[in-house]
Structure 1
Amino acid sequence: MRNHLRTGAVAVLACGVLVAAVGLTQHGHDGGTAPVGPYVALGDSYTAGPDIPDQNGTPLGCDRSSQNYPALVAAALKLQPAQITDRSCSGATTADLSGQQSTGDGTNPAQFSALTSDTRLVTLGIGGNDIGFSSLITRCVETGVLYYAIRLGVNTGDDAPCRTQYVTGGTDKVQQKIDAAAARVSAALDEIKKRSPKARVYVVGYPAILPDGDTDCSRAMGLAPGDVSYLREKEQDLNTMLQREAKAAGAGYVDTYKPSVGHDACSAASSRWIEPLVPASPAAAVHPNAAGERGMADAVLSSVEG
Structure 2
Amino acid sequence: MTNYVALGDSYSSGTGAGDYEPDSGSCNRSANAYPRLWAAKHSAASVKFVACSGATTATVRSGQLSALSGTTTLVSITVGGNDAGFGTVMQTCVLRSTSSCQTAVTTAEKYISTTLPGKLDSLYRDIRAKSPSAQVIVLGYPRLYKMVDGCVGLNQTKRAALNKAADALDTTIEKSVANAGLTFSDVRDEFAGHELCSGDGWLHSVTIPLGSSYHPTAIGHARGYLPAMNALDVRSLAM
- Both structures adopt the same fold (TM-score exceeding 0.5): yes
The code of the aligned residue for 1:68 comes to A
Q: 1:165 to 1:122 in 2, by over 3 A?
A: same
Give percent identity, aligned residues only. 31
**Is the aligned partner of 1:120 residue 2:85?**
no
Moved more, 115-124 or 256-265: 256-265
Does the residue aligned with 1:39 lie in a helix, a strand or coil?
strand
Deviations 1:229-260 (CA, angstroms, capped at 9, x unpaired): 11101100100111111111000001111110
What's 2:140 paired with?
205
What's 1:191 paired with?
126
Does the residue aligned with 1:116 lie in a helix, a strand or coil?
coil
Aligned-pair distance for 1:76? Answer: 1.7
Aligned-pair distance for 1:51? Answer: 4.2
* C-alpha distance in 1 between matches for 2:212 and 2:101: 25
Q: 1:53 to 1:174 in 2, by over 3 A?
A: closer
* C-alpha distance in 2 between matches for 1:121 and 1:45: 19
Q: How does 1:20-31 map to 2 (within 5 A)?
A: none
Deviations 1:196-234 (CA, angstroms, capped at 9, x unpaired): 0000011110122111x33444x2xx3222111111011
Moved more, 131-140 or 175-184: 175-184
What's 1:239 paired with?
170
What's 1:153 paired with?
none
What's 1:58 paired with?
23
Aligned-pair distance for 1:59? Answer: 3.2
* C-alpha distance in 2 between matches for 1:201 and 1:89: 18
* C-alpha distance in 2 between matches for 1:60 and 1:236: 31
The code of the aligned residue for 1:284 comes to S
Does the residue aligned with 1:297 lie in a helix, a strand or coil?
helix
Q: How does 1:135-284 map to 2 (within 5 A)?
A: 135-144=88-97, 160-166=98-104, 172-179=106-113, 180-211=115-146, 213-217=147-151, 219=152, 222-268=153-199, 271-278=200-207, 284=212
More strand by share: 1
Q: How does 1:78-89 map to 2 (within 5 A)?
A: 78-80=43-45, 83-89=46-52
> How high is the TM-score relative to the length of structure 1?
0.71
* C-alpha distance in 1 between matches for 2:99 and 2:107: 15
Q: 1:174 to 1:259 in 2, by over 3 A?
A: same
What's 2:213 paired with?
285
Q: 1:164 to 1:54 in 2, by over 3 A?
A: closer
Deviations 1:139-194 (CA, angstroms, capped at 9, x unpaired): 011125xxxxxxxxxxxxxxx42344347xxxx32212112111111111100110
Q: 1:298 aligns with which of 199, 208, 227?
A: 227
The runs of at least 4 aligned residues of structure 1 exceeding 6 Å deviation read none
Judge conservation of contact 1:55–1:66 (CA < 8 Å) in 2.
yes
The number of aligned residues is 231
* C-alpha distance in 2 between matches for 1:304 and 1:111: 25
In structure 1, the gaps of 5 or more residues are 1-35, 100-109, 145-159
What's 1:22 paired with?
none
Judge conservation of contact 2:143–2:188 (CA < 8 Å) in 1.
yes
Q: 1:90 aligns with which of 37, 53, 76?
A: 53
Does the residue aligned with 1:189 lie in a helix, a strand or coil?
helix
* C-alpha distance in 2 between matches for 1:132 and 1:210: 19
* C-alpha distance in 1 between matches for 2:163 and 2:193: 13
Deviations 1:246-301 (CA, angstroms, capped at 9, x unpaired): 11100000111111011112222xx211011148xxx9221100110112011111
Judge conservation of contact 2:89–2:101 (CA < 8 Å) in 1.
no
* C-alpha distance in 2 between matches for 1:255 and 1:164: 25
What's 2:5 paired with?
40
Aligned-pair distance for 1:91? Answer: 0.7
Aligned-pair distance for 1:50? Answer: 1.9
* C-alpha distance in 2 between matches for 1:51 and 1:260: 16
Deviations 1:2-61 (CA, angstroms, capped at 9, x unpaired): xxxxxxxxxxxxxxxxxxxxxxxxxxxxxxxxxx32100111111111243321053311
Q: 1:196 to 1:176 in 2, by over 3 A?
A: same
